[in-house]
Amino acid sequence: MYHLKPVMSQNVVCEVPTCMYSLKPVCSFSFDPTAFTDSTTGLTGAGTVDPMSIEIDNLLQKAENDELRMLAERQQRVLQQLAELKKEIMAMRTELKLNAKAPAQPSIPVKSKAQLKAEPINLTYLQDFVVNASPEYVPYSLLALKNLWKDRLNLQVECFTHSTVPKLSDEALSFQNAITTNGTTAANLPQIKVTLIWKNVGAYTEMITSPTSYVPICGEVNILRFLSRSGPSEFNYELQDNVDEVDSILDSCYLLLNKQNVKQRQQILRTLGSKLGKAAGFGGAEMSVCDIAFTSAVKQVQRTVAKDVNPNMQKCMGRVATMVGL
């Protein structure tokens, strides 16, 4: 931009009267090099500092020092509280005798079915029930339990078809013929009457124990849990020591049935495959409720996960089919 001439000349001399006391100037301007003289150095000129700027700097420095002091005091209080908390925790450890490391507990071997005592079945736990199942999701675990318990408990199954199902699939017809056939069972066995109704309920198989209250147990795996508790004691997995592991496998089987996304089913199947490993079954050499739930779940969704079933899984399913007639 172009320059303008100064409005006021800097060399203007103002005569100050001598009849009054002389006061130091309140402020000075940087363009007036002769306004002040530094009292410490005796220098005058452009290096002179504005007194108001000095005062402002002093105020800011004081405020900053106050904030730092308050922050330091706050930090000191926090450190003191932490030290007191540490003393209290150490006192509690001393009272609870947690200072010494606890000796390592020896691992408890898992009880096998043979080690579980075959106690008499409590008849008060036995009650007839109704199962609503879809022909597209056949509850193979009912047939497995019927054949597995043939020497201890008689599952008397009767089948009906709901009006929502126009026609039964071939798998449902084959299952119905197998489960309604009265096999060779021991005499005078406790009995449970099961009414199986083919109904359009999808993958959520329902079990109804009280027709008046109608509080269904949803999911084939949960039905398997219920029957495992009320059936013969030697088949109750909750009496074993690996209950958490069994429940985890049963939950995975439940998700395998009820997840509709193919990728999610494949992921769950890989998880089950890693838990199975190279063993003959989830319960080792003996038949377990996990083997039944896994076999039933895979048979129901095999159209979508057939390529992901590894040879050891197929071997496990073949063993279950041979032993319980699936």
Sorted by where each starts, the structural domains of the chain and their CATH numbers stand as 129-324 (1.20.1050.130)
Amino acid letter at 184? T
Least confident of 40-49, 93-102, 214-223, 232-241: 40-49
Name the DSSP class of 233.
Answer: G
Largest CA distance in the chain: 138
pLDDT value of residue 38:
52
Strand 206-208 relative to strand 129-133, pairing: antiparallel
In whole angstroms, give the CA distance from residue 193 to residue 214. Answer: 18
Give pLDDT tens digits for 94-114.
777 655 454 444 433 445 555
Give pLDDT tens digits for 171-224.
888 888 888 886 666 667 888 888 899 988 888 888 888 767 777 888 888 988
Sheet containing 129-133: which strands, arranged edge to edge? Answer: 154-161, 191-198, 129-133, 206-208, 217-218
pLDDT value of residue 104:
45
Is-contact 207 130, C-beta < 8 A? yes
In whole angstroms, give the CA distance from residue 11 to residue 281. Answer: 108
Does the pLDDT of residue 283 top 60, yes or no?
A: yes
Phi, psi for 207 (deg, rounded to 5): -125, 125
Residue of 59, 55, 13 lying closest to 32 (CA atoms): 13
Neighbours of 33 (CB within 10 A): 14
pLDDT value of residue 37:
52
Q: What is the mean pLDDT of residues 254-282?
A: 85
Least confident of 33-47, 83-97, 293-307: 33-47
Does the pLDDT of residue 159 top 50, yes or no?
A: yes
* Residue in the structure block whose two tokens are 């958490």: 244
Residues in the chain: 326
Average pLDDT in the chain: 78
Strand 191-198 relative to strand 154-161, pairing: parallel
Q: Which residue has the higher pLDDT, 167 or 186?
A: 167
Q: How many CA atoms lie within 13 A of 108 on its CB side?
A: 7
